[in-house]
Amino acid sequence: MQGIKAFLPILDWAPGYGRRQFADDSLAAVIVMIMLIPQSLAYAMLAGLPPEVGLYASIVPLMVYTFFGSSRTLSVGPVAVLSLMTAAALGRLDLPSVEAYVTAAMTLALMSGLILLLLGFLRLGFLANFLSHPVIAGFITASALIIALSQLQHVFGVSAHGENLLVLLPSLVASIGESLSSFNWPTLLIGVGVMLYLLWARRHLARILMQMGLAKRLAIILSRVSPIVAVAVTILLAWALDLGEAGVSLTGEVPAGLPGLTRPDFSLEIWLALLGSAALIAIIGFVESVSVAQGLAAKRRQRIDPNQELIGLGSANIAGSFTGGFPVTGGFARSVVNFDAGAATPAAGFYAAVLIAAATFFLMPLLAFLPRATLAATIIVAVWALVDFSIVRKAWDYSRADFLAVLSTIVITLLAGVEYGVASGILVSILVHLYKTSRPHVAIVGEVPGTEHFRNINRHEVVTHEEILSLRIDESLYFANTRYLEDLIYREVSARPQLRHVILMCSAVNEIDLSALESLETLNRRLLEMEIRLHLSEVKGPVMDALEGTHLPAELSGRIFLSQHQAVSELLAEENAA
């Protein structure tokens, strides 16, 4: 039973499910449904997919997550960044038809779902940690910029392409220039109008609703679902004024009702072509989702299990791929709305999915009149909130290493596209970390007079002795820094002709790997040839445990002291006795 429970978090809360939870969850479901519909349509468009695909992706994945996810309030569905990544991945494939494009999107969902599931079963969720905070922040900002720019074409009623600024910007400018003579003013009016309305709603609507007497929570929630108003109004306008005839690009006829079971592509060629993209989508989706889920869980002193989240998100994507969907994950805005609307259990997500499924039946005919400019404006306003360059300044102030990682992520994402951006961000973070630990901080230390404390000779007034060199190494000893430390020690030693003892103070050494062990053995041998003895002090328990199985303690020309004070005083006594 415990074994099953570990993989089905639903068993945690379903037994205690009662009328109260049902009431809370249903209300949240209605609100989330209203919010999800325009979002799903918009993000499908961003991914280059027909709008109904966005709705399909918001039905079964949402239901499946209910059973396998560990967060109680996460709302799963299409999100901006994954949609952009989907567009980038599929754009490269040069597919012959819309059907092939849709199938490839489902295949991408299947593959990233399988990757998530695999990582979950192997308990490899920690891999996501290699996306550092600054890299994620830089990546989100740069992606949001690309997304906003890519949607401007729909607001201007022109067409542009490109997955990075170098292609997108010239393409956009050129096509706006070309269409200047035959500019479609109604499209621009709708696009700009919706953007202004949404920006106004974000700033003022909640306050105005409260002044009208609504409760604060309700007012905030209603202001969050304002895009549905824009959708409804512009559909009405397009129908009433026959804007399609006036040259406004509309979504057009879409099939009503639910899709049947769909079949992703299983050809090896497509899988090889999409593998890298699927892995990046899986990781980015997971990281985004986990941070949202963790933030919300902490507010209620709940916990989420990252490995279980991998399984939940993986199952959701796999299920989505067989029901006409594309890559999904837990979204920030919708999850916050779900949480604020009072969702008590994951069942809220299930109900929202049922409502969306029902909506597809009566909604599809209306979508024919939905202007693309409305969706584009919704996307632009949504992602504009994500553009935040403050991380660049923060990183610059805090450390050059983090700054380098952020800057390269932003620049490469903007200039080369999302996938290169993420990959280079991960790579730069790792290289910078390795570089830093390969040249650790080493302090020559001396005794603070009248105490047993040893401090950096450059920072404090301390006592040293010319026969003894005490070095405190502020880093684990491992392959990347052994040679640096050897060089440093030989340099210090060759500058001190009177030297008889070198003491390595190991209070901050958390590990000694085999390279470092061999390096210590060599150091010991070579120092002995110079008639200098090597000692260690303040070696930690786990490190000492490892050393005790080796020849080092026996071969060491010097001794291993419990404390640095003891080391220096005993060695001085020996020297004076001799």
**Choice between 216 and 483, CB closer to a copy of itself:** 483
How wide is the angle at C-alpha 131 spanned by C-alphas 384 and 324, nearest 5°?
Answer: 65
Interacting residues with a copy of itself between 205 and 234 (CB under 8 A): none
Angle, helix 133-156 to helix 418-438, in steps of 10 degrees:
160
**Choice between 202 and 540, CB closer to a copy of itself:** 540
Applying CB under 8 A, which part among 228-236, 265-273, 323-331, 523-531 lies near a copy of itself? 523-531
Give the DSSP H/E element, type plus range, for residue 447. strand 442-447
Interacting residues with a copy of itself between 63 and 82 (CB under 8 A): none
Interacting residues with a copy of itself between 428 and 487 (CB under 8 A): 429-430, 433-441, 456, 459, 474-476, 478-484, 486-487
Q: What is the SS3 assignment for 323?
A: coil
Smallest separation, CB 296 to a copy of itself (Å) = 11
Smallest separation, CB 434 to a copy of itself (Å) = 7
* 519, 482 Cβ separation under 8 angstroms: yes
Q: Does 541 participate in binding a copy of itself (rule CB under 8 A)? A: yes
Smallest separation, CB 502 to a copy of itself (Å) = 13
Q: Does 563 participate in binding a copy of itself (rule CB under 8 A)? A: no
Number of residues that bind a copy of itself (CB under 8 A): 72
Interacting residues with a copy of itself between 223 and 282 (CB under 8 A): none
Interacting residues with a copy of itself between 339 and 398 (CB under 8 A): 394-395, 397-398
Burial letters for 68-100: b for 16+ Cβ neighbours within 10 Å, e otherwise? bbbbbbbbbbbbbbbbbbbbbbbbeeebeeeee
Which one of 92, 202, 526, 559 is in contact with a copy of itself (CB under 8 A)? 526
Smallest separation, CB 272 to a copy of itself (Å) = 20
Q: Which residues contact 448 (CB under 8 A, 6 or more apart)?
A: 454, 455, 460, 461, 462, 463
Rg (CA), the chain: 31
Applying CB under 8 A, which part among 181-189, 192-200, 312-320, 399-407 lies near a copy of itself? 399-407
A 10 A CB-CB count for 530 gives: 13
Interacting residues with a copy of itself between 130 and 149 (CB under 8 A): 130-135
Q: Does 303 participate in binding a copy of itself (rule CB under 8 A)? A: yes
CA atoms within 13 A on the CB side of 452: 8
Angle, helix 347-367 to helix 60-68, in steps of 10 degrees:
180
* 66, 343 Cβ separation under 8 angstroms: no
Smallest separation, CB 475 to a copy of itself (Å) = 5
How wide is the angle at C-alpha 35 spanned by C-alphas 218 and 334, nearest 5°?
Answer: 85
* 49, 375 Cβ separation under 8 angstroms: no
Q: Which residues contact 6 (CB under 8 A, 6 or more apart)?
A: 308
Applying CB under 8 A, which part among 32-40, 312-320, 463-471, 538-546 lies near a copy of itself? 538-546
Measured distance CA(144)–CA(332) in Å, rounded = 14
First to last CA, the chain: 72
Measured distance CA(348)–CA(412) in Å, rounded = 39
**Choice between 183 and 435, CB closer to a copy of itself:** 435
Which one of 363, 401, 407, 411 is in contact with a copy of itself (CB under 8 A)? 401
Applying CB under 8 A, which part among 72-80, 297-305, 324-332, 356-364 lies near a copy of itself? 297-305
Give the DSSP H/E element, type plus range, for residue 76. strand 76-77
**Choice between 211 and 510, CB closer to a copy of itself:** 510
Interacting residues with a copy of itself between 106 and 135 (CB under 8 A): 126, 128-135
Interacting residues with a copy of itself between 485 and 514 (CB under 8 A): 486-487, 490-491, 494, 507-508, 510-511, 513-514
Interacting residues with a copy of itself between 19 and 48 (CB under 8 A): none
Which one of 92, 202, 496, 540 is in contact with a copy of itself (CB under 8 A)? 540
**Choice between 203 and 393, CB closer to a copy of itself:** 393
Applying CB under 8 A, which part among 70-78, 171-179, 541-549, 554-562 lies near a copy of itself? 541-549
Enter the tokens of residue 365.
């005919």
